[in-house]
Amino acid sequence: VTNDVTWEDSLMVGLEGALLGCAYNILSCRSCGSILGFILYSAPGNLAYLRGFFCFFKDNIICYLLKKQIVIEASKVNFPAVTLKE
């Protein structure tokens, strides 16, 4: 993750959907302000393995700066298809 991705200090609590009952921090783009994903702080047992990881929404990533200093559209990167239910 580059310095262009920031997270909110305040915790959010999921009231519905896949993050129901989870506490998490929102990840956003410093440049455009788009929400890119989340970091789980606390979660039920079935999502415990995601705690502390940067979880991104592929559809919300416009581009990403890699260590090689190359800008790539996220649609050109091969991400394995994973949902929260998996």
HEC states along the chain? CCCCEEECCCCEECCCHHHCCCEEEEEEECCCCCEEEEEEEECCHHHHHHECCEEECHHHCCEEECCCCCEEEHHHCCCCCCCCCC
Of 56 and 80, more confident: 56
Tell me the pLDDT tens digit for each residue of 18-53.
Answer: 888 999 999 988 877 888 899 999 988 888 888 888
Q: Tell me what the pLDDT averaged over the chain comes to.
A: 79
